[in-house]
Amino acid sequence: MSDDDSPRRLRRNLLTAIGGLLLGGCDALSRTEWFPRILRVGEDLSRRVQHAVTARKSMAQEFSERDLSPSFRSNGTANPDDNDYQALARDGFSDWRLRVDGLVEQPMGFSLQQLRSMRSRVQITRHDCVEGWSAIGKWKGVPLGEVLALVRPTVAARFVVFHCADPMDPAGTKYYESIDMEDAYHPQTILAYELNDASLPIGNGAPLRVRIERQLGYKMAKYIMRLQLVDSFAAIGQGRGGYWEDQGYEWYAGI
């Protein structure tokens, strides 16, 4: 049967046209304001159902040393293109201070040495990226709850916002993320300063990154400079609670 067998070609062209129309329709719907809002009902339902079926302090799986990935992939920013950060890195972060402020009774600053002297937790966990890959690493850090106990959040505090050193675009927008108090006080939520028994490498967020083991990788901010306790993140960035959230990703990254 040749190509100019017209009923057959007509049918094929018709099918291609219908397919193209449907695909084009999906693209067009994706670009509207209103349609993605409807689609997001699905992720909202996931958040509700996942919170309903798991306990507030349910633990993510922990692994053994033989499960460690040979090297832990650096993703997103590999080395912040920022003069202040580079100056801190040159001195081994000796001048770096973690500022903790916002809705707290006692705003404080912490040096890396101070954080290292606090109670620590070691955990071998799986890092799940929104892209689909996973890597297993051994993290050591101070539970975020320990730091919060010192600064004493006020009753109005609902979220912890992580302000980071890495610029994400030519305009210099810095990475930021946020979590609720339930995740902030989760035992596996730690401010990690070690990866695989060595100081946290720059590629993985030196000097400090957060681990939030029941959510995807983009929640786990690297290069943390400041923690801010807030009752709303509407006034921060574009108001969606994080750099990637401002690009359309969900604030709740439990799946």
Considering beta carbons, is residue 126 or 226 the nearer one to other proteins?
A: 126
Distance in Å, CB of 3 to other proteins, minimum: 19
Task: Give the three-class secondary structure for 142.
Answer: strand
First to last CA, the chain: 49
Distance in Å, CB of 231 to other proteins, minimum: 24
Distance in Å, CB of 82 to other proteins, minimum: 26
**Is residue 58 at the binding interface for other proteins, with CB under 8 A as the rule?**
yes
Q: Please give the Cα distance from 158 to 165 (Å, whole number).
A: 23
Q: Please give the Cα distance from 200 to 255 (Å, whole number).
A: 26
The residue from 85, 112, 128, 221 that contacts other proteins (CB under 8 A) is 128
**Is residue 14 at the binding interface for other proteins, with CB under 8 A as the rule?**
no
Choose one: 21-29, 96-104, 140-148, 223-231; the region binding other proteins (CB under 8 A). 21-29
Stated as kind and residue range, the H or E segment containing 209 is strand 209-211
* 195, 204 Cβ separation under 8 angstroms: yes
Partners of 177 in the beta sheet? 162
The residue from 14, 18, 38, 122 that contacts other proteins (CB under 8 A) is 38
Q: Please give the Cα distance from 13 to 93 (Å, whole number).
A: 63
Q: What is the DSSP string of 27-41?
A: HHHHTSSHHHHHHTH
Sole residue written with tokens 């070691």: 122
Tokens of 105: 């009774």
Tokens of 201: 């490498």
Distance in Å, CB of 65 to other proteins, minimum: 13
Distance in Å, CB of 81 to other proteins, minimum: 24
The residue from 19, 92, 107, 187 that contacts other proteins (CB under 8 A) is 19
**Residue 127, CB half-sphere, CA atoms under 13 Å: how many?**
24
Q: How far is CA 71 from CA 120, 185, 192, 204, in A?
A: 23, 29, 17, 11
Considering beta carbons, is residue 30 or 117 the nearer one to other proteins?
A: 30
Tokens of 198: 């060595």
Considering beta carbons, is residue 74 or 120 the nearer one to other proteins?
A: 74
- Of residues 66 through 95, those in contact with other proteins by CB under 8 A are 67, 69-73
Number of residues that bind other proteins (CB under 8 A): 52
- Over the window 129 to 158, marking each residue x when it contacts other proteins by CB under 8 A and - when it does not, the resulting string is xxxxxxxx----------------------
**Is residue 17 at the binding interface for other proteins, with CB under 8 A as the rule?**
no
- By CB under 8 A, name the binding residues for other proteins: 19, 23-24, 26-27, 30, 36, 38-43, 45-46, 50, 53-54, 58-63, 67, 69-73, 126, 128-136, 213-216, 244, 247-250, 253-255
